[in-house]
Amino acid sequence: MTRKYEPIWTELKVSGKAALTADPRLHARIKKAVIKEKDNDLGFKLSASEDRKKYKLTVISTGKVLTFRLDDTLLINTL
């Protein structure tokens, strides 16, 4: 059984972006839940660490549309 916000997180991992329409009063709750999905995904974190990448989740709320974007940056060793 999938969790309620897991499909949004899965779409972000696959395509790097996801958008949905929801009541603006629910945007904060949805944003918090998707961030929690990201934080709890240990496989994603391990894969990102092995690829020496760091991911930043950007959330934009415009009217009823909530847009998520997942951007990656390459970590550089400065030793």
- pTM value is 0.86
Is the pLDDT at 76 greater than 90? The verdict is: no
Q: State how far the alpha carbon of 43 is from the alpha carbons of 48, 50, 66, 77, in Å.
A: 9, 11, 26, 22
Q: Can you give the residue ranges of every domain in the chain?
A: 6-74
Dist. CA 38–CA 32, nearest whole Å: 10
Give the model's pLDDT for residue 41.
Answer: 94
Quick: pLDDT tens for 8-64. 999 999 999 999 999 999 999 999 999 999 999 999 999 998 988 999 999 999 999
Q: Is the dihedral of CA 19, 20, 24, 30 positive or negative?
A: negative
Q: Residue 78's pLDDT is what?
A: 58
